[in-house]
């Protein structure tokens, strides 16, 4: 018995000394309230619930942006997306050259230098690989640090998605749901392509529950029988459950390969849920950010307040709950700290190393969590254009509604709006007592409001000064400081 205990202890110590594997799992358009663990009344997500119970659950976790491309760019660089010229989602038009600039430093680049294997399966959306195959102006996935990639630029088609590219070669259509394909290929890489004795970072990026939402018929039928009589709602519920099921398959694979204990699994969404659709077959968005206000494209709290889970059995205590606000912009410095990877000198990052939060240790943040967006798509009831969270408080700044655009995808001509947008009114909320942001309390806390307003204006002007464009459009003049 004593010998077995000694052997177990030595094995554990050896595992801790081994660099951890990293798996980053990202869902698309998943709302904060869409999981069982975050109290959805009907959607079943047993595998993600278990993942949270086995590790750390964040109660206030944030995406870096309110829409996919800028959010994903910030996740992989730890830098706010305006520094990379990515402000909204990269549209699929044939001439779109928008991409993470070649000069940026990415997480897989740094870990690769440390001897890590690097792979991504699923949604990328930080450049268009179909265009890169013909245009060397766009950096390759190899340049971004990936040894292996299996991705499709078609981010909307969920069933029988076309144009899957494996390491640059187009393999065409895969006749299945995208979530199933992503899980299959993730397991394939772990089982057949991974070098067994080399640490790895693998990005697992699902396309669901993004529009156009599809799901397995048995799951849909089950929700129709037990949860709702609305078929489109049942399809959304089933799509989330199917992502959960596929994540369960991946976690089982880690167990079978004896990788689970020393693999840090990160899970989140790229932003909040899409606005409720009109019920058409291609518009089945029934996600929720409850109890928070907002949807994708806006900057109310529910637009960016997303699920956040990390499991690392050798280091993170099971059942750990984190109430301090954090976000996936922090993944870059946090994963560097986990893997003892040096942060390059003079690299200015906006995220914070929140490993101390995961280990129950003191944590401080130098730069407040903040978000800026030139367009919120709603003129009659505008969303905020700049937001900053400090403790339980969140301050919101708004542009004149007449400046908002009808379209959301990024166009080069939009840079003038990025550079010249002016915050004209402000509101303050306490998210702890008012998660739906119904009550502006700026009048009740004039000193705090004045302090946070000045910080938000300064941060927004800094964003406008730093924001880059493409084709030499960086020189557009800014508005003067509205505090003067």
Walking along the chain (484 residues) 10 residues at a time, the average pLDDT comes out as 41 60 98 98 98 98 96 98 92 79 97 98 94 89 98 94 96 97 98 97 97 95 96 95 98 98 98 78 82 94 98 98 98 98 95 98 96 82 92 96 78 88 96 97 98 98 92 39 34
Q: Residue 479's pLDDT is what?
A: 39
Q: Residue 278's pLDDT is what?
A: 64
Q: Residue 480's pLDDT is what?
A: 38
Q: Residue 470's pLDDT is what?
A: 72
Q: Residue 282's pLDDT is what?
A: 58
The class that CATH gives domain 369-466 is: alpha beta
How far is 355 from 75, CA to CA, in rounded Å?
15
Those residues whose C-beta lies under 8 Å from the C-beta of residue 218, and which sit 6 or more positions away, are: none
Domain ranges (residues) in the chain: 15-358, 369-466
Q: Among 3.40.50.2300, 3.10.310.10, 3.40.720.10, 3.30.1370.140, name the CATH number for the domain at 15-358.
A: 3.40.720.10
- With residues binned 3-state (H G I as helix, E B as strand, rest as coil), the percentages for the chain, rounded to 5, are 30, 15, 50
Residues forming a β-bridge with 268: 26, 308
How far is 36 from 50, CA to CA, in rounded Å?
10
Q: Residue 483's pLDDT is what?
A: 33
Q: Residue 392's pLDDT is what?
A: 97
Tokens 């790895």 identify what position?
A: 200
Residue 71 near residue 64, CB atoms below 8 Å: yes
How far is 195 from 481, CA to CA, in rounded Å?
54
Could you tell me the maximum CA-CA distance found in the chain, to the nearest angstrom?
Answer: 75
Residue 449 near residue 442, CB atoms below 8 Å: yes
Q: Residue 279's pLDDT is what?
A: 57
Q: Residue 93's pLDDT is what?
A: 66
């Amino acid at each position: 018995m004593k010998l077995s205990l000694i052997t177990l202890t030595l094995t554990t110590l050896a595992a801790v000394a081994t660099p951890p594997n990293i798996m980053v799992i990202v869902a698309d358009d998943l709302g904060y309230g869409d999981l069982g663990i975050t109290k959805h009344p009907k959607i079943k997500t047993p595998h993600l619930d278990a993942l949270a119970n086995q590790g750390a659950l964040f109660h206030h976790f944030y995406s870096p942006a309110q829409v996919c491309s800028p959010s994903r760019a910030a996740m992989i660089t730890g830098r706010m997306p305006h520094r990379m010229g990515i402000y909204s989602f990269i549209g699929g038009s044939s001439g779109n050259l928008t991409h993470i600039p070649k000069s940026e430093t990415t997480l897989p680049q740094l870990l690769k230098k440390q001897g890590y294997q690097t792979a991504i399966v699923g949604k990328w959306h930080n450049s268009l690989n179909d265009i890169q195959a013909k245009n060397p102006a766009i950096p390759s996935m190899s340049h971004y640090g990936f040894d292996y990639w299996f991705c499709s630029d078609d981010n909307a088609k969920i069933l029988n998605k076309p144009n899957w590219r494996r390491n640059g070669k187009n393999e065409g259509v895969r006749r299945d749901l995208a979530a199933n394909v992503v899980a299959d290929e993730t397991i394939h890489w772990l089982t057949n392509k991974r070098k067994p004795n080399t640490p790895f970072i693998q990005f697992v990026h699902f396309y669901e529950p993004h529009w156009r939402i599809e799901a397995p018929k048995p799951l849909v039928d089950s929700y129709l029988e037990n949860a709702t009589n609305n078929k489109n709602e049942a399809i959304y519920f089933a799509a989330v459950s199917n992502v959960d099921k596929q994540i369960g398959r991946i976690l089982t694979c880690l167990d079978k390969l004896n990788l689970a204990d020393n693999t840090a699994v990160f899970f989140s969404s790229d932003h909040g849920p899409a606005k409720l659709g009109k019920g058409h077959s291609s518009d089945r968005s029934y996600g929720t950010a409850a109890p928070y206000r907002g949807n994708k494209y806006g900057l109310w709290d529910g637009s960016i307040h997303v699920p956040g889970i990390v499991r690392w059995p050798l280091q993170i205590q099971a059942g750990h709950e984190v109430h301090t606000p954090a976000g996936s912009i922090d993944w870059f410095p946090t994963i560097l700290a986990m893997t003892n990877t040096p942060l390059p000198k003079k690299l200015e990052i906006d995220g914070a190393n929140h490993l101390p939060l995961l280990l129950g240790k003191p944590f401080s943040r130098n730069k407040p969590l903040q978000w800026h967006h030139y367009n919120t798509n709603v003129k009659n009831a505008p969303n905020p254009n700049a937001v900053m969270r400090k403790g339980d408080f969140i301050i919101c700044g708004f542009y004149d509604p007449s400046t908002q655009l009808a379209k959301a995808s990024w166009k080069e001509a939009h840079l003038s709006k990025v550079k010249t947008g002016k915050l004209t009114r402000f509101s303050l909320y306490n998210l702890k007592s008012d998660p739906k942001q119904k009550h502006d309390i700026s009048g009740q806390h004039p000193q705090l409001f004045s302090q946070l307003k000045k910080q938000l204006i300064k941060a927004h002007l800094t964003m406008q000064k730093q924001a880059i464009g493409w084709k030499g459009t960086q020189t557009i003049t800014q508005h003067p400081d509205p505090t003067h």
